[in-house]
């Protein structure tokens, strides 16, 4: 099969609805990170990587409770083998996304064959052997996924038959050429992230793990464009609209629908529909997080939580002033706590110790500056609707 079988790799230029969406997304995503002090944004990044992992798992049909994800990051694993496997899967996703976010990934464009193989290898090499076994429903065979290696056998995904294994290198080379293009305008590059998401799944380069890798690649491509961050995630939007997501993916697998449907082998109209849906999901998530992270509203929710905890005797008086300072300023020196709450040094140390014990404050050392902590038990109060109510 020739790589032209996946044409068009991009919808035609001039689709105003797509380019308008792309422009809005680029503008609003770039502005999101400026809402918060860098230290608070960094701490939120850890929380939101776990959220991204939760929703990415959910798309794959793996409902891993946020508390289990949190325990996995502390290497506290369930005695139940199935739950433990999903915890290890969650930890793998978070560790790989952290590498991508920190620039610790392969030093090549996110759309490159090298980066795609790197993402798959890094993720799958962290999985337990039980999650690397794929069962063929027709033959009962159970081949194992080899981390980072392209599949060596044919597969069928629903009604879609991806390219033969021997042709995968050529398809991935064309993929890299199509989506690593510096001459495109920014709106077209944003549209390319959406189109690449579908086309990578259409190529289906690996025996398993393609969905997870495609979402990591989308995240990395947005980072390359300067509009991605740890503060929003397309996975949440896709998971909340998972039926439509899978329907549009399937529709974009289809052939050209006639003379007025582009000039490629596949339907340009269906690809445009998928890109429009994908970018709307991204924009919805950016706007959701922008509203959630409005500094005055975040401060109000933290204040209400602290007031309730102080009234219940679970936090000492003065806690609110310390947390208010770290939300607004990002950090506070330990020596300033006594002045902030108007007490003795001894009382200030007791307040600080309690907040550290509750993980409402974190610090890199016994004398280091204090930063905001976000333990799991405050997430629903401070960041409502981040997870579904059932979670």
Rounded Cα distance between 370 and 356, Å, is 9
Domain-wise residue ranges, the chain: 3-292, 295-382
Q: How far apart are the first and last CA of the chain?
A: 44
pTM, 2 dp? 0.92
105: pLDDT strictly greater than 80:
no
Provide the token pair at 281: 């999901």
Alpha-carbon distance of 316 to 347, in angstroms, equals 10
Residue 88 pLDDT greater than 70, yes or no: yes
The model's confidence at residue 388, banded by pLDDT at 50, 70 and 90, is confident
Q: Point out which residues pair with 133 in neighbouring strands.
A: 144
336 CB contacts (<8 Å, ≥6 apart)?
A: 325
The answer to whether residue 310 scores a pLDDT higher than 90 is yes
Pick 295-382's CATH classification: 1.10.760.10, 1.10.1040.10, 1.10.10.10, 1.20.1050.10. Answer: 1.10.10.10
Q: What pLDDT shows up at residue 260?
A: 84
Give the C-alpha separation, 358 to 322, whole Å. Answer: 14
Region for 209 from its dihedrals, namely left if φ exceeds 0, alpha if ψ lies in -120 to 50, beta otherwise: left
Give me the pLDDT at residue 141, please. 85
Q: Is residue 339 over pLDDT 70?
A: yes
For the stretch 221-272, pLDDT in tens is 999 998 877 889 899 999 999 999 999 999 999 999 888 888 899 999 999 9
pLDDT > 90: percent of the chain: 74
Give 38's pLDDT tier (boundaries 50, 70, 90): confident
Mean pLDDT of 133-150: 87
CA distances 148 to 113, 123, 151, 165, 210, Å, are: 10, 9, 9, 14, 11
Bridge partners, residue 361, by sequence: 372
| CA–CA gap between residue 178 and residue 173 (Å, rounded) | 9
| φ/ψ bin of 106: left (φ > 0), alpha (ψ from -120 to 50), beta (otherwise) | beta
Query: Cα(342)–Cα(321) distance, rounded to whole angstroms?
Result: 10
Asked whether the predicted pLDDT for residue 107 surpasses 70, the reply is: no
- Token pair, residue 309, equals 């905890």
Whether the per-residue pLDDT at 68 is higher than 80: the answer is yes
Mean pLDDT of all residues in 312-321: 95
| CATH, domain 3-292, list 3.40.50.2020, 3.40.50.360, 2.40.30.10, 1.10.3290.10 | 1.10.3290.10
**CB–CB of 328/295 below 8 Å?**
yes
Residue 317: predicted pLDDT: 94
Which pair of tokens denotes residue 359? Answer: 């993980």
User: Is residue 126 very low, low, confident or very high in pLDDT (cuts 50, 70, 90)?
Assistant: very high
Q: Which of 10-24, 134-148, 234-248 has the highest mean pLDDT?
A: 234-248
Q: Which two tokens stand for residue 373?
A: 């902590």
Q: What percent of the chain has pLDDT over 70?
A: 98
- For residue 383, pLDDT over 90 is answered with yes
Q: And the tokens for 362?
A: 């974190």
Stated as kind and residue range, the H or E segment containing 205 is none
């Amino acid at each position: 099969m020739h790589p032209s079988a996946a044409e068009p790799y991009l919808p035609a230029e001039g689709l105003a609805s797509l380019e308008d969406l792309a422009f809005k997304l680029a503008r609003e995503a770039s502005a999101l990170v400026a809402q918060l002090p860098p230290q608070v944004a960094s701490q939120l990044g850890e929380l939101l990587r776990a959220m991204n992992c939760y929703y990415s798992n959910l798309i794959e049909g793996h409902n891993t409770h946020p508390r289990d994800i949190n325990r996995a990051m502390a290497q506290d694993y369930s005695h139940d083998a199935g739950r433990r496997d999903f915890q290890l899967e969650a930890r793998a996703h978070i560790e790989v996304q952290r590498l991508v976010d920190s620039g610790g990934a392969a030093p090549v464009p996110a759309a490159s064959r090298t980066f795609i193989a790197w993402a798959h290898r890094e993720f799958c090499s962290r999985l337990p052997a039980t999650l690397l076994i794929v069962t063929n429903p027709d033959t009962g065979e159970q081949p194992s996924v080899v981390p980072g290696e392209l599949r060596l056998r044919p597969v069928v995904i629903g009604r879609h038959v991806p390219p033969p294994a021997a042709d995968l290198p050529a398809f991935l080379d064309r993929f890299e050429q199509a989506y690593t293009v510096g001459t495109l305008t920014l709106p077209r590059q944003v549209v390319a992230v959406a189109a690449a998401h579908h086309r990578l799944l259409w190529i289906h380069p690996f025996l398993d793990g393609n969905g997870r890798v495609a979402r990591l690649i989308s995240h990395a491509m947005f980072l390359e464009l300067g509009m991605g961050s740890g503060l929003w995630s397309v996975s949440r939007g896709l998971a909340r609209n998972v039926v439509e997501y899978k329907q549009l993916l399937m529709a974009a697998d289809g052939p050209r629908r006639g003379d007025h449907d582009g000039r490629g082998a596949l339907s340009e109209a269906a690809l445009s529909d998928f890109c429009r849906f994908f970018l709307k999901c991204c924009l919805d998530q950016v706007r959701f997080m922008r509203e959630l992270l409005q500094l005055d509203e975040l401060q109000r929710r933290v204040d209400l939580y602290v007031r309730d905890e102080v009234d219940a005797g679970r936090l000492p008086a003065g806690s609110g002033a310390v947390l208010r300072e770290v939300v607004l300023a990002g950090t506070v020196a330990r020596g300033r706590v006594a002045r902030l709450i108007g007490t003795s040094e001894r009382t200030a140390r007791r307040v600080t110790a309690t907040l550290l014990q509750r993980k409402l404050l974190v610090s890199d050392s016994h004398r280091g500056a204090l930063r905001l902590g976000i333990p799991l038990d405050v997430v629903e109060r401070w960041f409502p609707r981040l997870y579904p109510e059932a979670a």
